[in-house]
Structure 1
Amino acid sequence: MPETRYELESLEQKFYNLTDMNGAQRRIPCFALLDGKHFAVEHPPHSGSLNANYKGFFSFNSLMLCDSDLRVMYCQISELGVNSDAQLFRDGPLQSILDDLVRMAGFRMLPDHRTLMPPFLLADNGFALTHSTMQPYRQNSLTLENYEFNKMISAVRVRVENLFGVLTSKFRILRRDMNLDPSTSRALVVALCVIHNIQLGPLQLLDVDSTAPMMANPYDSPEDQRTALKRFLLDQ
């Protein structure tokens, strides 16, 4: 996790600089991507259906944050496969960590010189919409503008899915049901994330100006903030 404004804004700039197939900047000013991942295990003894997930197999669920280079920034493993992504987020420390980042960095002006944004991550609709967690519009509110917004942020958010593919390709044990003591299985997933990060090498920070003034929250709700982000992305 970033510990200074400089690290945070460097992570944001790296996402902002990502390009599409035509070489155009995607201009998404997030600092991380969030998603859940079920890791399959043999049926833990004496657990009944507590490790049976909605996908039809036994597992431990997890939450992961990654940066633009697919580096794992945060990993939280559930004790039970029945725990949903939203439950892990609600019961874990991640929201408190995000609140601390917002207090550290505040709301800052985007390059259009009229849109203010705090540090935020992109997630899917399995999570709550908050000032620090932006997500696509749901199916029942898909206007043409909202559809275009969804396409733009989903093209970046898919990178966290790429991370899961990289982990299972790199560490073949994750392709089959882990037959270990439950606590060992969870520790193994965390250890493999650490090894993956080591193989990526040290985080390369960009030369960014982290002295811009911090502003107060101008939005009455997270929905107002998402609308401002949509305007920023579509008005280009």
Structure 2
Amino acid sequence: METNWRKPIPAAARLSMTIRYRIGRSTTTFIIKETCEAIWNCLNTEELFTPTSNGWQEIAYEFENRWNFPNCIGALDGKHVSIICPEKAGSTFYNYKGFHSIVLLALVSATYKFLIVDIGVQGRHSYGGIFKNSIMGQLFYNNNMHLPAPSAISTRHNVPYVIVADEAFQLNSFTMRPYPSKNLTKQQRIFNYRLSRARRVVENAFGILVSRWRIYQRPLNTSLQTSDAIIKATVCLHNLLMNTSYYCGKNYADNLSADGRIIEGEWRQRHINIDNCSNRSFGSNNYTREAGEVRNIFTDYFINEGKVSWQEDII
């Protein structure tokens, strides 16, 4: 805001100091929050996904074409963003990994773009619980996400459109998770591989986010409101950059070889701090008969009409 005493700091300078974060904290705290909020307000409707039936079908086409998983409308996971414990917060933000955090919960497309996000829940909560209680989760649970009607993935199979997730989330009619990992049949191992192959895009999106924005490589030492604003801004800028040919190429995105094997992007060579999935808490394994039948249909499809030539070698 312009005053009689001095001219306002130009927008270009505000953006520069927000991205570089190299001047005094007392000077930049308000500017960073304000600029990040402006980035979010300007970009979120363009860069994030607005649920429509046709839009979900386009996302599903990308997953089937690139990752061989039909009727998939996104990969779901959470990331703990490390923060300095807020004053008088106690253990509210202390997570199972042993540090204070807020959670970035994200549904991600086949091309590593964030579709829908939920930001700012205290780190002590489980990913599955956060999803179920989030606006995003409630829209799914209440059938208000404008999902297309179930459709055929072969002449024998008709299934709903689903999210792929890991064991932290509950199996239901719109969320597929792996079979429990003990005493699996060959068919179940193939399903778990095919699901993992599609689901890895969300972990990769988090990895690219961290490797691109160095602020994630140390605890955020600012207010919760500013931390939320920083995460929102970087999510939008991530999607904006992923639209360019450079970032969609070998430098950031994984690519596929002729036999379907994954050629890892160059970003993996950088040191990044992403969640250690081997140490995560698991969600409930209770599920409805309908959800179990949907998973079994996908399993049957993956060993018959939807088989890929390399899957048995991989498992």
- For residues 148-227 of structure 1, what are the structure 2 equivalents within 5 Å? 148-201=190-243, 220-227=289-296
Return the TM-score normalized by structure 2: 0.64
CA distance in 2, matches of 1:14, 1:64: 18
Q: Does 1:234 align with 2:303?
A: yes
Deviations 1:125-173 (A, max 9, x none): 1111111101111123522211111011101211111001100011100
Match for residue 40 of structure 1 among 74, 78, 82: 82
Deviations 1:61-113 (A, max 9, x none): 22101101111011112331111101211211223333223x64111111x12
- For residues 9-158 of structure 1, what are the structure 2 equivalents within 5 Å? 9-18=57-66, 26-98=68-140, 99-101=143-145, 104-110=147-153, 112-140=154-182, 142-158=184-200
The CA deviation at 1:14 is 0.7
Structure 2 residue runs without a partner (length 5+): 1-48, 245-287, 308-315
CA distance in 1, matches of 2:168, 2:233: 26
Aligned residues: 212
**What is the Cα-based RMSD across aligned positions, in Å?**
1.8
CA distance in 2, matches of 1:176, 1:170: 13
Structure 1 residue runs without a partner (length 5+): 20-25, 203-218
Instruction: Classify 1:27/1:52 alpha carbon distance in 2 versus 1 (closer, same or farther; 3 Å).
Output: closer
What amino acid is aligned across from residue 293 of structure 2 in structure 1?
Answer: D
Runs of 4+ in 1 over 6 A off after TM superposition: none
CA distance in 2, matches of 1:155, 1:201: 22
Residue identity (%): 27
Contact 1:37–1:61 (CA<8 Å) still a contact in 2?
A: yes
Aligned-partner SS, 2:121: coil
Aligned-partner SS, 1:139: coil
Aligned-partner SS, 1:78: strand
CA distance in 2, matches of 1:65, 1:109: 24
Instruction: Classify 1:95/1:43 alpha carbon distance in 2 versus 1 (closer, same or farther; 3 Å).
Output: closer
What amino acid is aligned across from residue 175 of structure 2 in structure 1?
Answer: T
The CA deviation at 1:220 is 4.9
Instruction: Classify 1:104/1:66 alpha carbon distance in 2 versus 1 (closer, same or farther; 3 Å).
Output: closer
Query: Between Structure 1 and Structure 2, whose CA radius of gyration is higher?
Result: 2
Identify which of structures 1 and 2 has the higher relative contact order when contacts are C-alpha pairs closer than 8 Å and 6+ apart.
Answer: 1
- Indicate the residue corresponding to 2:260 in structure 1: none
CA distance in 1, matches of 2:119, 2:188: 33
